[in-house]
Chain A
Amino acid sequence: MGASVVIAEIRIELKPGIADPEGQNTKKALELLGFKGIKGVRSIRFFEVELDAPVDEAKKQCEEMCRKLLANPVIQKFKITVK
């Protein structure tokens, strides 16, 4: 890795109020396996992007990535953490 390589963590989740069939079904499956006390399961997507760019620039690029491909603003929101 070069000196300026950063790792951006991109978390894509459903906006509040959007039904999450994958999470609900996972919850059901976990309960069928005998797990008790599960209040809720939410499915969240997580991307780790390695970027050769300064932190500010990396964040900007990742926001663009979310807008162009990684998130659909109708149902999803995203959070970017650059390390």
Chain B
Amino acid sequence: MKPNEIKVCVLRIEGTNCEEETAAAFAIVGASPEKVHLKQLIHQCPKEMRRDLEDYHILAVPGGFAAGDYVRAGAILAARMKSALSKELKTFVEKEKPIIGICNGFQVLVELGMLPAFEAAISKEPQAALYTNDSARFECIPTLLKNESNGKCVFTRNLPKGKVVMFPSAHGEGKLMFSSEHERDYLNLLEKNDQVVFRFVGPDGSYAGYPWTPNGAISSIGGICNPAGNVLGLMPHPERVVNRITHPDWTRSGLDPSGEGDGRVVFQSAVDHVIKKG
């Protein structure tokens, strides 16, 4: 399979606003992304616009403010997907096709029960929450993330374990939480299953609190995957740094501004994984 044969569904509804960058990120690594409205997937549109989720190799739920983020961030899109696309999503996950949820997309996957998804591809009820940042503010800053995955997550396979990357964060509700009665167990399960993909760190690479962890997330977690490793959700935005020139320090770092940015590896890893799987 060639990279350009890999079809990526970049899902959008009213309020998503990072679909252009997300599609561009997949295009840069050679895949064929398409921005697809939810209504196209559930066939509430003219016949020629209809699409089927099963025809895609990768699904990306981009950032933004889906459905205005009313009720809770990501909740409305999650509820709509769950009610109309559950079967297709379950099949997609079970075929171990890569799914990425970035920022608002992560909130959607958590609300949908597709992350952390300890017991099933889609849990009946959410097992986690991404709640209001401790600062009660929208935090929009460059953040440093350490790759914590031991190889389970398909989106970080090309990134050495322990490597620190800069992906910008821009969210008001990114504090990963579990219910108090499950907090310890779930954290242990995440570790045991190799589901912790990214943790926020400070400039010296060690775990650090605010502002390095911009939201107060449990154990400084910035991204998690499902037990199979094909579904990743993360708060920061790798699609905003696929080129070095969009790194805030590109004039100071001395690195070639036309070179690769830190975020590209996420999209490259997924595409490589699909090619390898055949």
- B90 CB → nearest A CB, Å: 17
| CB within 8 Å for A72 and B75 given contacts A21-B135, A21-B136, A24-B136 | yes
Contact B75 A67 (CB under 8 A): no
Contact A69 B71 (CB under 8 A): yes
* Residue tally, chain A, CB below 8 Å to B: 16
B164-189 CB mask vs A (1 if < 8 Å, else 0) is: 00000000000001111000000000
B180 and chain A: residue at smallest CB distance: A17
B62-99 CB mask vs A (1 if < 8 Å, else 0) is: 00000000011001100100110000000000000000
Contact B134 A69 (CB under 8 A): no
Asked if A3 CB lies within 8 Å of chain B CBs, one says no
| CB within 8 Å for A70 and B71 given contacts A21-B135, A75-B179 | yes
Asked if B268 CB lies within 8 Å of chain A CBs, one says no
Could you say which of A19, A24, A74 has the most chain B C-beta atoms within 10 Å of its C-beta?
A: A74
A-B contact pairs, 11 of them (CB 8 A): A15-B180, A18-B131, A22-B132, A68-B79, A68-B82, A72-B72, A72-B111, A72-B129, A73-B126, A74-B129, A75-B131
Interface residues of A (CB under 8 A from B): 15, 17-19, 21-22, 24-25, 67-70, 72-75
